[in-house]
Structure 1
Amino acid sequence: MLLYHLLVSAFCFSVALVSAWKLRSKRKRSPPGPPGYPLVGSLFSIPKEKSWSIHDTWLKEYGDLVYYEVLGQPVLLVGSAKRVKDLFDKKNAIYSSRPRMPMVNELMKFDNTFGTLKYGPRWRQLRRAFTEVFHPNVLPTYHSTITSQMSGMLTRMASTPDQWEDHLTHFFAGSIIEMTYGIEIESVNDPLVKNVQWVVGGVTMAAVTVKYFVDIFPILKYVPSWMPGTGFKQFAKKFIQMNDLIKDEPFERVLKAMNGEGPPVKPCIVSRLIENLPDEDDEDREDEEEVARLIAVQACLAGFETVISAARAFVLAMILHPEIQKKAQEEIERVVEEGRMPDFRDRSKLVYVNAVIAEVMRWHTIAPFALPHATSEDDIYEDYFIPKGTVVIGNTWSIMHDPEEFPEPMAFKPERWIEDGKVSREWLDSPIFGYGRRICPGRHTSMDMLYMFVTAMLAGFEMEAPKDSNGVPIQIIPEFTDMILSQPEPFDCVIKPRGLKAEFQFAA
Structure 2
Amino acid sequence: MFLSVYGLEIASSEEDMPARNRKVIELLDFSMIAGWSAFKKIPFIHLLPSWLPGGQLVADHLAFHEVFQEGADRPWNALMEDLRRPDSHNSSLIANLLFNIDPDDDQGMQRLKKFGVAAIVAAADTTVSVISTFFIAMSCYPDAQLRAQQELDDVLGRGQMPTLEDRPSLPYIEAILRELMRWHPAGPMGIPHDTSEDIIYNGYFIPKGTSVHANIWAMTHDESTFEKPDDFIPERHLREDSKFDDINSILAYGFGRRVCPGRYMANDMIWLTAASLLASFKISTSAKRENVEEYFSHGTFCYPKDFAWSVSPRLN
Task: Classify 1:207/1:475 alpha carbon distance in 2 versus 1 (closer, same or farther; 3 Å).
Answer: closer
Identity, % of aligned pairs?
Answer: 26
How many positions carry a matched residue from both structures?
309
Matches of residues 55-74 of structure 1 in structure 2 within 5 Å? none
Task: Classify 1:339/1:205 alpha carbon distance in 2 versus 1 (closer, same or farther; 3 Å).
Answer: closer
- The residue aligned with 1:438 is 258
Structure 1 residue 265: deviation in Å? 7.1
Task: Classify 1:216/1:399 alpha carbon distance in 2 versus 1 (closer, same or farther; 3 Å).
Answer: same
Q: Is the 8 A contact 2:83 2:90 kept in 1?
A: no
Matches of residues 151-190 of structure 1 in structure 2 within 5 Å? 176-190=1-15
Structure 1 residue 213: deviation in Å? 7.0
Matches of residues 107-118 of structure 1 in structure 2 within 5 Å? none
2:23 maps to which of 198, 222, 226: 198
Task: Classify 1:398/1:298 alpha carbon distance in 2 versus 1 (closer, same or farther; 3 Å).
Answer: same
1:494 maps to which of 306, 310, 315: 310
Does residue 343 of the first structure (1) align with residue 163 of the second (2)?
A: yes
- The residue aligned with 2:267 is 447
RMSD, aligned α-carbons: 3.3
1:330 maps to which of 120, 144, 150: 150
Q: Is the 8 A contact 1:481 1:489 kept in 2?
A: no
**Cα shift readout 1:254-277 (whole Å, capped 9, x = no counterpart):** 11112229x967420222244444
- Partner letter of residue 208 of structure 1? I
In the superposition, the TM-score normalised over structure 2's length comes to: 0.83
Task: Classify 1:266/1:394 alpha carbon distance in 2 versus 1 (closer, same or farther; 3 Å).
Answer: same
Paired with 2:9 and 2:309, the residues of 1 have a C-alpha distance of 28
Task: Classify 1:290/1:424 alpha carbon distance in 2 versus 1 (closer, same or farther; 3 Å).
Answer: closer
SS at match of 1:496: strand
Task: Classify 1:207/1:321 alpha carbon distance in 2 versus 1 (closer, same or farther; 3 Å).
Answer: closer
Structure 1 residue 326: deviation in Å? 0.8
- The residue aligned with 1:289 is 109
Q: Is the 8 A contact 1:254 1:265 kept in 2?
A: no
Q: Is the 8 A contact 1:202 1:239 kept in 2?
A: yes
Paired with 1:461 and 1:192, the residues of 2 have a C-alpha distance of 32
Task: Classify 1:353/1:205 alpha carbon distance in 2 versus 1 (closer, same or farther; 3 Å).
Answer: same
**Cα shift readout 1:14-69 (whole Å, capped 9, x = no counterpart):** xxxxxxxxxxxxxxxxxxxxxxxxxxxxxxxxxxxxxxxxxxxxxxxxxxxxxxxx
Paired with 1:426 and 1:257, the residues of 2 have a C-alpha distance of 36
Larger radius of gyration: 1
- The residue aligned with 1:306 is 126
Does residue 370 of the first structure (1) align with residue 165 of the second (2)?
A: no
- Partner letter of residue 487 of structure 1? F
Paired with 1:226 and 1:448, the residues of 2 have a C-alpha distance of 40
Paired with 1:226 and 1:341, the residues of 2 have a C-alpha distance of 49
Paired with 2:32 and 2:230, the residues of 1 have a C-alpha distance of 27
- The residue aligned with 2:236 is 416
Does residue 394 of the first structure (1) align with residue 214 of the second (2)?
A: yes
Task: Classify 1:211/1:375 alpha carbon distance in 2 versus 1 (closer, same or farther; 3 Å).
Answer: closer
Structure 1 residue 303: deviation in Å? 1.4
Does residue 220 of the first structure (1) align with residue 44 of the second (2)?
A: yes
Structure 1 residue 423: deviation in Å? 4.7
Paired with 2:50 and 2:174, the residues of 1 have a C-alpha distance of 54
Q: Is the 8 A contact 1:255 1:274 kept in 2?
A: no
Paired with 1:238 and 1:223, the residues of 2 have a C-alpha distance of 13
Paired with 1:312 and 1:212, the residues of 2 have a C-alpha distance of 27
Matches of residues 70-89 of structure 1 in structure 2 within 5 Å? none
Task: Classify 1:381/1:211 alpha carbon distance in 2 versus 1 (closer, same or farther; 3 Å).
Answer: closer
Q: Is the 8 A contact 1:212 1:232 kept in 2?
A: no
Structure 1 residue 374: deviation in Å? 4.5
Structure 1 residue 233: deviation in Å? 6.4
Which sections of structure 1, spanning at least 5 residues, go unmatched?
1-175, 466-472, 502-508
1:268 maps to which of 87, 92, 95: 92
Does residue 318 of the first structure (1) align with residue 138 of the second (2)?
A: yes
Paired with 2:96 and 2:308, the residues of 1 have a C-alpha distance of 42
- The residue aligned with 1:79 is none
Task: Classify 1:410/1:427 alpha carbon distance in 2 versus 1 (closer, same or farther; 3 Å).
Answer: farther
- The residue aligned with 2:81 is 256
**Cα shift readout 1:432-455 (whole Å, capped 9, x = no counterpart):** 222344333432331111111111
- Partner letter of residue 91 of structure 2? P
1:353 maps to which of 170, 173, 179: 173
Task: Classify 1:190/1:498 alpha carbon distance in 2 versus 1 (closer, same or farther; 3 Å).
Answer: farther
Q: Is the 8 A contact 2:34 2:189 kept in 1?
A: no
Paired with 2:125 and 2:269, the residues of 1 have a C-alpha distance of 13
Paired with 1:188 and 1:357, the residues of 2 have a C-alpha distance of 26
Q: Is the 8 A contact 1:319 1:493 kept in 2?
A: yes
SS at match of 1:464: strand
Q: Is the 8 A contact 1:379 1:388 kept in 2?
A: yes
Paired with 1:198 and 1:204, the residues of 2 have a C-alpha distance of 10
- Partner letter of residue 199 of structure 1? V
Paired with 1:345 and 1:270, the residues of 2 have a C-alpha distance of 24
Q: Is the 8 A contact 1:225 1:233 kept in 2?
A: no
Structure 1 residue 297: deviation in Å? 0.9
Task: Classify 1:177/1:220 alpha carbon distance in 2 versus 1 (closer, same or farther; 3 Å).
Answer: same
Q: Is the 8 A contact 1:462 1:498 kept in 2?
A: yes
Q: Is the 8 A contact 1:181 1:268 kept in 2?
A: yes
SS at match of 1:185: coil
Task: Classify 1:237/1:378 alpha carbon distance in 2 versus 1 (closer, same or farther; 3 Å).
Answer: closer
Paired with 2:40 and 2:126, the residues of 1 have a C-alpha distance of 25
